Amino acid sequence: MSPMVQVLLASLPILVTIFLMAGLTWPARRAMPLAWLLASALGLFFWQMGPVRVAAATLEGALNALNILIVVFGAILLMNTLQLSGAMGVISRGFSGISGDRRVQVLIIGWLFSSFVEGAAGFGTPAALAAPLLVGLGFPPLPAATLTLVMNSTAVTFGAVGTPILVGLRTALEGLLPEAALPAFLLRVGLWTAFINTLAGTFVPLLAVCLMTRFFGENRSLREGLEAAPFALAAGLSFTLPYLALAYFFGPELPSMGGALIGMFLMVGAARRGILVPRTSWDFPGNRGWGGDGGGVEGKTTRGGEGERVGGGGKVGGGGREGEILQEEGAGDGLLSRPAGKLPMGKEMSPLRAWAPYLLVAAILVATRLPLFGLKGPLTRVTFTWLDILGQEGVGYNLQPLYSPGIIPFVLVAGLTFLLHGMKAREVGKAWQNTFAQLLPAAVSLVFAVAMVRVLVQSRINGAGMDGMLLTLSNFASRAAGEAWPLLSPFIGVLGAFVSGSNTVSNILFGGFQYSVAEALEISRTITLALQAAGGAVGNMIAVHNVVAVCAVVGILGREGEIIRKNLLPAGIYAASLGLLGLLLIYRWAPGIF
């Protein structure tokens, strides 16, 4: 078989995934089983993998997907519990009255609150909560959806408690690095990712504000966005500097949640005191120029397929207001694909009591991860391991359930919230029911996505005497791109998130590929994977399924293409800046990093 035919065949599972999801807009739960089937067929008939090895690789992928789903389940369960307890209503109302300037509002809610939710829950929930909250404050639905997607990016690198790196990249790298070396390597990747994002991500809030005034303002002016530069840059730094410090001291689990919590405390206080706030207040134009097609302040728009009409200040789902958060079936990885249920108006509770579960999550994560408290050892002693699955060497699985953040702290704190917020048994049952319903489509897509990747990796042992499919692709990419690969690396991450709607899945799909390319080029594997992780976060701005989900939430289904076209600009700027930073780091500033 010629080398180019090998490259073409090895790339087919990924190309088919892109075609089905980006071209035909298939949901991941339909596309990924076909991609896995194609990878398995290629392994059997062209690479001559044994049927038992294909089965073992598939089983390995399904079990590793379980590790991800445990975290997803716990994160979404806590979010659903807080919605049904009324805590989210209290938290949301706490943002009202901070400032009348839309630029300040979008920075606090779209940037900081959204980043906090990303760190606490991830998996498509931040924009789906922040966008309707902005609409409830008077934002037109179109800019609310567009801007929350733009700003829900830097935090996505670490997602819910570090899942994209600690689980996504780990899954992709198993078999490429010794098992004992993986934890320390992932910590270094997380730190370098935080460093790169601190340099580039700090400017995302300013970029978003400028886009808002340029695309959605009455004067279509960049200058009006730049007037908020002091507050926007302060908002960026208030998040990214703690984000970097937390990555250095604690690893990938706390940067997004902790950095955003610190940033909210600082910037809400600054806004209330008028510190760095623009001298003149900025608002959207009235009905003029928007019309009644779903984008205007006063224009009417159909909500989420239900037929209810809302305008800029109408009733919306989320934020503790009456109504339902409605998501389109099949959006994202299925995590936002079903109604979240009626949200209470918000029980009488103090803001501290409402925030207490999240504060408890942060405290437990610190206590279980710092050696000072001595909890890591007892928690990791409970380990389930399956070596050489089905007798296949190098195919294995490992689970430490008590050390998984899905169980401790998420499920644990969700249970404590039942007592802390005085919830009724039926409310708790509804939270669990909603979580299982949301998780099912995600389970299908994740199981087959991870299984496909493990088949590509495990094809290195075959009867055809060829390089494995992953190595075949990486060798071709390294020859084609050469030393320019760091420039392209973030865009690979963007592509993975664009088609899958998930940075975790992007890392699973391309993490091993990026590592192999860096190895072939003899450049820093650490920084290359940091560029992959950061690029996957940027892809969240334009991820088809996330865009559909947010549009459904704020009632502008049908405007997805318009949002993606607008967000291509900030996504391109962000990814290009990451590539330039990667190029400088790998060849000039830090050439000795592994």
Looking at the structure of the chain, the number of domains it has is: 1
* Beta pairing, strands 384-386 & 309-310: unpaired
Do the domain assignments include residue 408? yes
Please give the Cα distance from 447 to 454 (Å, whole number).
Answer: 11
Do the domain assignments include residue 239? yes
Dump pLDDT digits (tens) for 341-394.
343 444 578 888 988 988 888 888 888 877 778 888 898 899 999 989 999 988
Dump pLDDT digits (tens) for 234-284.
999 999 999 999 999 989 988 998 999 999 999 999 999 999 999 999 999
Split at pLDDT 50, 70, 90, the class of 528 is very high
| Greatest alpha-carbon span in the chain | 71
- Altogether, the residues listed in the chain come to a count of 594
Dump pLDDT digits (tens) for 397-438.
988 899 888 898 889 999 999 899 989 999 999 999 988 887
Whole domain around residue 522: which residue ranges? 4-10+12-35+52-286+325-589
pLDDT at 124: 65
Do the domain assignments include residue 61? yes
| 20 close to 432: Cβ distance less than 8 angstroms | no
Instruction: State yes or no: pLDDT of 218 exceeds 70.
Output: yes
Do the domain assignments include residue 58? yes
More confident position, 581 or 64: 581
Dump pLDDT digits (tens) for 500-518.
778 988 898 889 989 999 9
Q: Which residues of 139-151 are buried (b: 16+ CB within 10 A; e: fewer)?
A: bbbbbbbbbbbbb
Q: pTM here? A: 0.76
**pLDDT cut 70: percent of the chain above it:** 88
pLDDT at 405: 82
Instruction: State yes or no: pLDDT of 310 exceeds 80.
Output: no
Instruction: State yes or no: pLDDT of 333 exceeds 60.
Output: no
Tokens (6 digits) for 440: 């099912």
Mean pLDDT of the chain: 83
Do the domain assignments include residue 410? yes
Split at pLDDT 50, 70, 90, the class of 288 is very low
Do the domain assignments include residue 583? yes
Split at pLDDT 50, 70, 90, the class of 319 is very low
> What is the residue whose two structure tokens read 């510190």?
275
Do the domain assignments include residue 279? yes
Distances, alpha carbon 538 to alpha carbons 75, 293, 506, 513, in Å: 22, 29, 11, 19
Rg of the chain, C-alpha, whole Å: 23
- Mean pLDDT of all residues in 219-224: 91
Do the domain assignments include residue 181? yes
Split at pLDDT 50, 70, 90, the class of 123 is low
